[in-house]
Amino acid sequence: MAKITFGGVEENVVTREEFPLEKAREVLKNETIAIIGYGVQGPGQALNLKDNGFNVIVGQRKESKTWDKAIADGWVPGETLFEIEEACAKGDIIQYLLSDAGQIALWPTVKAQLTPGKALYFSHGFGVTYNDQTGIVPPADIDVILVAPKGSGTSLRRLFLAGKGLNSSYAIFQDATGRAKERVVALGIGVGSGYLFETTFEKEVYSDLTGERGVLMGAIAGIFEAQYNVLRENGHSPSEAFNETVEELTQSLMPLVAENGMDWMYANCSTTAQRGALDWKNRFRDATLPVFKDLYKSVATGNEAKITIDANSQDDYRVKLEAELTEIRESEIWQAGAAVRALRPENA
């Protein structure tokens, strides 16, 4: 394990060089990995592990779209694809990759198959951290571990196929066997992580919920809408407003940030853009800082978990969700976006 200092803080990280794939295979050579759930993270992690030479099976409900997707991806019913309960019984490591609501609903079924010495793996700390609301309390005689790729399962798979990796956090909640550390690191390498950095279940879920509601999704969507609307109110066309708000950011500037950081992106823009960005950056930071503090408090107190659980447990949740997503999809900014994307050279 490497020690790396960021901003004066020493962190534990694991790279592919110090823990190569061959070592990961050796650690898990006698274990069956059961992927429970084939929705968001399941396909990417399952396929990457399979392609990397691990013994993988999938557990999913029969007669569901995701069961059919698993078959389409090459999993064979009765050989590598099973009902959830049977897959849990067969697995030495159970990767619990259902949605948070699905984990709550299926917990009694999964818990019944957690015999001593098994490992229960999560990619999100939600169920364990908020166990007073979820009821997910693992038995004391199993390992409880986490690998959380910093991106979607689709991105994890795409980067894997491109010979790259998606960075992941890892955590150990419970080490009953003395092997939790080598198991979790081997799994992190196996699913295709670029490198692994250490965290806890609690910190993972706090940062994740804050990020999703903040910069990664909620805040960026709100900022997009605010700027787009101001431009439109001042007579700019939908095409111009969308290109200046979304297209230039996602297609031109963010790749520069990803390459070498924000300062490098600034250095590769015009002097006018540099000056304006530097002058306005702190105003946006100061304006949003109170919102982020309120958000983090709501996450840490469990309020966001309660909102999520209450909403997801409603019978008409999917109907309401689709209505909200339709409202976004049919709004002018994203209708303009669909038109702009269609005009990209690769889509023309």
Summarize pLDDT for 182-213 with one digit per residue, the tens: 999 999 999 999 899 999 999 999 999 999 99
Q: What global pTM score does this model have?
A: 0.90
Tokens 């150990």 appear where?
A: 172
Delineate the domains of the chain, giving CATH numbers in brackets.
2-199 (3.40.50.720), 211-342 (1.10.1040.10)
Would you say residue 46 has pLDDT above 70? Answer: yes
17-28 pLDDT, tens per residue? Answer: 999 999 999 999
Instruction: Give the residue numbers annotated as catalytic, written as ranges.
Output: 124
DSSP at 249: I
> In this structure, what is the dihedral angle of CA atoms 35, 39, 42, 44, given to the nearest 10 degrees?
150
Residue 306: pLDDT over 90? yes
| Distant-in-sequence, close-in-space partners of 75: CB < 8 Å, separation ≥ 6 | 46, 57, 58, 81
**Mean per-residue pLDDT for 266-278?**
94
Q: What values do phi and psi take at 162, rounded to 5?
A: -90, 5
The model's pLDDT over 76-96, given as tens digits with 9 standing for 90+, comes to 999 999 999 999 999 999 999
- Give 200-254 pLDDT, tens digit per residue: 999 999 999 999 999 999 999 999 999 999 999 999 999 999 999 999 999 999 9
The reported pLDDT for the residue numbered 137 is: 97
In the prediction, which pLDDT does 348 show? 65
Give Dmax (Cα) for the chain: 67
Place of tokens 């694991």: 14
Distance in angstroms (rounded) separating the CA atoms of residues 119 and 177: 9
**Contact between 229 and 61 (Cβ < 8 Å):** no
CB 192 within 8 A of CB 48: yes
Q: Which amino acid appears at position 90 of this protein?
A: K
